[in-house]
Amino acid sequence: KLLKDKKIERVVFNEITKKAVTNGIENPRQIEPLLVDAYMARRALDYLVGFNISPILWTKLPGSKSAGRVQSVALKLLTEREHEIEIFKPDEFWTLSLNLKTYTGTQINANIFQLEGNKIEKFSFKNKDDINLAIEKIKEKKYNIKDLTSKIYSRNPSGPFTTSTLQQSASSKLGFGASRTMQIAQRLYQGIDIAGETVGLITYIRTDGTNISNEAVNVFREYIDTNYGKEYLPNEANNYSGKKAKNAQEAHEAIRPTDINKFPDDMKKYLSTDQYKLYNLIWSRALSSQMQSAKFDRKTILIESEDSKNILKASGSVIKFDGFLKLYKTGNEEENEKILPKVDKGSVNIESFIDEQHYTQPPSRYSE
């Protein structure tokens, strides 16, 4: 009744900044019937599913609050995973590596790539007897370093955060639970008091889009050029909007700082410890998404028996150019930093064997 005979329009903005809100108010849209219908359909589903199932839950599972279109699907995923874990039977397998010494006295650790002309797979050695047999076969022959290769490969930065990737990263890097992450992010989005003015530090936090507005990308690129240098700036802006999830609505931008020039350390005095940690994570991930790829030099040493039937390999990578890693570490850099010694082609002697027993693991339970 209150709205009868009044003109109703829809104002849209995706970030709490003066510019975005003013722009939204200046460019109102019509109410979109399809969006209203979609909302009504969701509400109907909630009534049909929730109102019918919830009372059953209360009687059968005391303590359960509700069921609904989301909980029902989540429960199905959990029960399916639990079933997989229950029926899982572990398989035993062994791995074998060698410590070698070159004629100049350099130590190398190598894995078996091929034995008696057969490529070594995960389950090639099923038990200790297989390992002992392999050791005997390897010992029978003399070995030489046959080939040394070096290959540069790139690792590209990840796209800026969506709601789910933010929750995952905050969990693994900061140890925050999903609800804690969202509470902190909500405050950063709604606004922080900075010198008497309420300023939203990040864009809308409920999004499955990975795109960033052109305007923001240009500011990011300027910032990288000024603060890190030309070599950290790709020739063209990195575009993540092409990597769409099948059912992504793409209604909002990815989660990014509203102003990249609000450097986390400058904001620290206005933020709580947790707010600073999360803002720093969002700021770093968003900016690093527009930086140059990291470059690694992957070296491989190929060691063969004289009849070429047994092949051993040693490999390791070293960071040549840090690129986006200067700003945002992904967590698996350490394993790449296995530096191989400098060696020349020539004979090698076997010093020792390292065998390890393993068992396959069931699928793990889901985290939040």
What is the H or E stretch that residue 138 is in?
A: helix 128-139
Residues 234, 292 contacting (CB under 8 angstroms): yes
Residue 13 exposed, middle or buried by CB count within 10 Å (0-12, 13-18, 19+): middle
What share of the chain has pLDDT > 90, as a percent? 69
pLDDT in tens, 177-198: 999 999 999 999 999 999 888 8
Tell me which of 204, 232, 279, 328 is the catalytic residue: 204
Between helices 214-227 and 273-288, what is the axis angle to 10°? 90
Please report the pLDDT score of residue 367 as a whole number: 78
CB atoms within 10 A of CB 351: 12
Look at residue 30 and tell me whether its pLDDT is greater than 60.
yes
- pLDDT at residue 50 tops 80: no
Q: Which of the four pLDDT bands, split at 50, 70 and 90, describes residue 242? A: low
Give 156-183 pLDDT, tens digit per residue: 999 999 999 999 999 999 999 999 999 9
CA nearest neighbour of 286 among 224, 198, 226: 224
Identify any residues that bridge with 96 across adjacent strands, giving them in sequence order: 355
Residue 276 pLDDT? 97
- Predicted TM-score of the model (pTM): 0.77
pLDDT at 337: 64
Residue with more model confidence, 152 or 48 = 152
Cα–Cα distance measured from residue 141 to residue 52, given in angstroms and rounded to the nearest whole number: 73
Average pLDDT over residues 217-239: 95
pLDDT recorded at residue 214: 87
| Lookup result for tokens 């990597």 | 243
> Among the listed ranges 60-69, 168-177, 228-237, which one has the minimum average pLDDT value?
60-69
Give the chain's mean pLDDT: 90
| Known catalytic membership, residue 359 | no
Is the pLDDT at 273 greater than 80, yes or no? yes
